[in-house]
């Protein structure tokens, strides 16, 4: 076996009929090949990870399998029979179901209603009680806990994902495709999901898992395929693979950027507090407190980590820190002054960059071209014009620079942002906001959807901002990431700051206690 090669799957291929056999799949957009003669084989009873760097063609291949895209050429056989999958309905009929990163549920409907919506087995006459009973039976059968009567809008991301998966499984799916399913889950939810997937596999079904989280891939997957630049470059068993061997297969000959860890040196002027919250409370439309009396200092030249299980006030915190939402009580101080800039635009002009958690809905205008998205937030700066005048050529040059520095794989600035792969959208937003952040960068889950190389580049970018005296707020659920990057870590629990630890005093155990609402045995400094 050559270095970097994967062991072959144990059973000889001829011994079983593959669940899915894709051969020579080619699909181009605007003349660029997103899939270039891809072969992919999925066996029954396996969890198969689909890996590759941002823009490698993973989602495209799965969109072909699930009937969203028609390939330009190539063939798909399901359980030995060649099939044309012309629509998602054809895919469902072939037993293939996909759960996308952006859920497709109706927020105002209940869990039971969402599961039964558009399902040809939904009985014609149905009362809420029997809808709920049928949903509960599905939940028990697949080991995915949901509350049938709850409104989807009130559910956490993890709960919504369970509803999506149940919706798909209820329709007789034997081949389940999951696109980065753990990106929005808490560690406990990841464990529950993996248990459900193992049970699904034990029944002879199969799962295709698109993921950038190599540790999770090694934990759950039996087999894997790596894509690079639209081609399948390696496939085989996960036995014997390691994180670094997978990273090598994914990135190829490109050097993997060294993991950038926290810079221990103090930055001059680091005592300054450009942004602070004093007694800040934010309520939702029902009057429920999302943030409750939060005091927080964002210091210049430091990375302030925000730990906590998602749904404990993270979204409200990032919105209040970036001027997107005004607090119902308390003050947001810019350079100690509560009477300064107000809205998101003024905060950006003042030097606050914002990488929000939902890039497609809040950070990008999906139908506008890349170039316009690149300069969406700083077109009034000197780089784009002068006074009230806007210089289109200067603006185009600025857009070009941002697109190049973001290292997105599509360089044509006229292409709509929605046509970028998920990871490339995230790269563009991160670069645009890094440039705006002359004082503070607020980054919510900024590594979501990024491949291993892009994660390292993002961390390096945050450390460079810190070194130049910018205050960085890093909201993350990954304790490992916070311990490696942050100078101090604040823990959010139920809308309050449960404690703030200098990183030297923080470890997974102490952070875990605070994250679950418990107090530390000794006081927090």
Residue 489 bridge partners (DSSP): 305, 501
DSSP 210: E
CB 70, min distance to ligand ATP, A: 12
Contacts of 113-121 with CB under 8 Å at 24 or more apart are 114/152, 114/163, 114/167, 115/163, 115/166, 115/167, 115/170, 119/167, 119/170, 119/171, 121/170, 121/171
Nearer to ligand ATP, 69 or 142 (CB): 69
Nearer to ligand ATP, 393 or 414 (CB): 414
Binding ligand ATP by CB under 6 A: which of 43, 59, 186, 312? Answer: 59
Binding ligand ATP by CB under 6 A: which of 238, 318, 421, 485? Answer: 421
Q: Considering the rule CB under 6 A, would residue 410 count as an interface residue with ligand ATP?
A: yes
Q: Considering the rule CB under 6 A, would residue 67 count as an interface residue with ligand ATP?
A: no
How far is CA 81 from its chain centroid?
A: 35
Stretch that binds ligand ATP, among 57-65, 152-160, 182-190, 366-374 (CB under 6 A): 57-65
Nearer to ligand ATP, 281 or 426 (CB): 426
Instruction: Report the distance separating Cα 486 and Cα 475, nearest Å.
Output: 10
Which residues, including other chains, have CB under 8 Å from residue 166's CB and lie 6 or more apart? 115, 135, 138, 139, 142, 144, 146
Instruction: Report the distance separating Cα 224 and Cα 218, nearest Å.
Output: 9
Instruction: Report the distance separating Cα 504 and Cα 514, nearest Å.
Output: 16
Nearer to ligand ATP, 243 or 345 (CB): 243
Per-residue binding string, ligand ATP, 435-454, x by CB under 6 A, is --------------x-----
Binding ligand ATP by CB under 6 A: which of 18, 41, 43, 55? Answer: 55
Stretch that binds ligand ATP, among 55-63, 193-201, 276-284, 503-511 (CB under 6 A): 55-63
Which residues, including other chains, have CB under 8 Å from residue 8's CB and lie 6 or more apart? 236, 237
Site for ligand ATP, residues 7 to 36, rule: CB under 6 A: 29-30, 34
Instruction: Report the distance separating Cα 118 and Cα 58, nearest Å.
Output: 28
Instruction: Report the distance separating Cα 297 and Cα 471, nearest Å.
Output: 10
Q: Considering the rule CB under 6 A, would residue 409 count as an interface residue with ligand ATP?
A: yes
Q: Considering the rule CB under 6 A, would residue 58 count as an interface residue with ligand ATP?
A: yes
Stretch that binds ligand ATP, among 189-197, 306-314, 414-422, 501-509 (CB under 6 A): 414-422
Nearer to ligand ATP, 70 or 518 (CB): 70
Per-residue binding string, ligand ATP, 100-139, x by CB under 6 A, is ----------------------------------------
Which residues, including other chains, have CB under 8 Å from residue 174's CB and lie 6 or more apart? 19, 44, 95, 96, 204, 205, 206
User: Residue of minimal CB distance from ligand ATP?
Assistant: 423
**Where along the sequence are the contacts to ligand ATP (CB under 6 A)?**
29-30, 34, 52, 54-60, 409-410, 419-424, 449
């Amino acid at each position: 076996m050559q270095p970097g090669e994967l062991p072959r799957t144990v059973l000889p291929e001829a011994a079983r009929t593959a669940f899915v056999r894709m051969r020579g799949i080619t699909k181009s957009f605007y003349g660029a090949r997103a899939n270039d003669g891809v072969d992919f084989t999925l066996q029954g009873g396996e969890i198969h990870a689909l890996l590759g760097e941002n823009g490698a063609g993973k989602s495209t291949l799965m969109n072909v399998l699930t009937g969203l895209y028609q390939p330009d050429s190539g063939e798909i056989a399901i359980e030995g029979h060649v099939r044309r999958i012309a629509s998602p309905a054809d895919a469902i009929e072939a037993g293939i179901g996909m759960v996308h990163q952006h859920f497709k549920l109706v927020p105002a409907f209940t869990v039971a209603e969402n599961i039964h919506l558009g399902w040809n087995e939904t009985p014609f006459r149905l009362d809420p009680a029997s809808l709920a009973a049928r949903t509960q039976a599905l939940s028990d059968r697949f080991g995915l806990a949901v509350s049938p009567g709850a409104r989807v809008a009130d559910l956490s991301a993890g709960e919504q994902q369970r509803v999506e998966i149940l919706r798909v499984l209820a329709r007789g799916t034997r081949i389940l495709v999951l696109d980065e399913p753990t990106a929005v889950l808490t560690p406990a939810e990841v464990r529950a999901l993996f248990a459900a997937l193992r049970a699904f596999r034990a029944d002879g079904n199969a799962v295709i898992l698109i993921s950038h989280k190599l540790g999770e891939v090694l934990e759950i997957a039996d087999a894997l395929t790596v894509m690079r630049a639209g081609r399948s470059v390696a496939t085989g068993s996960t036995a014997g693979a390691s994180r670094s061997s997978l990273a090598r297969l994914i990135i190829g000959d490109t050097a993997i950027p060294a993991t950038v860890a926290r810079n221990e040196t103090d930055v001059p002027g680091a005592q300054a507090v450009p942004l602070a919250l004093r007694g800040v409370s934010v309520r939702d439309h029902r009057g429920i407190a999302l943030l409750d009396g939060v005091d927080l200092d964002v210091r210049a030249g430091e990375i302030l980590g925000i730990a906590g299980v998602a749904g404990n006030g993270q979204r409200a915190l990032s919105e209040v820190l970036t001027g997107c939402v005004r607090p119902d009580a308390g003050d947001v101080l810019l350079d100690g002054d509560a009477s300064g800039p107000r809205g998101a635009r003024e905060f950006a002009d003042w030097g606050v960059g914002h990488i929000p958690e939902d890039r497609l809905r809040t950070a990008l205008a999906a139908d506008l071209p890349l170039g316009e998205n690149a300069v969406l937030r700083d077109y009034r700066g000197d780089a784009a014009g002068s006074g009230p005048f806007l210089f289109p050529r200067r603006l185009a040059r600025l857009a070009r620079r941002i697109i190049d520095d973001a290292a997105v794989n599509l360089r044509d600035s006229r292409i709509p942002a929605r046509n970028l792969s998920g990871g490339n959208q995230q790269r563009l937003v991160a670069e645009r906001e890094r440039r705006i952040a002359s004082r503070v960068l607020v980054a919510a889950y900024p590594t979501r959807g990024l491949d291993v190389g892009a994660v390292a580049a993002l961390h390096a970018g945050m450390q460079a901002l810190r070194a130049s005296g910018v205050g960085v707020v890093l909201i993350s659920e990954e304790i490992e990431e916070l311990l490696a990057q942050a100078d101090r870590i604040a823990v959010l629990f139920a809308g309050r700051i449960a404690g703030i630890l200098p990183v030297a005093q923080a470890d997974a155990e102490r952070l875990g206690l605070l994250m679950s609402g418990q107090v530390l045995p000794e006081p927090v400094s």
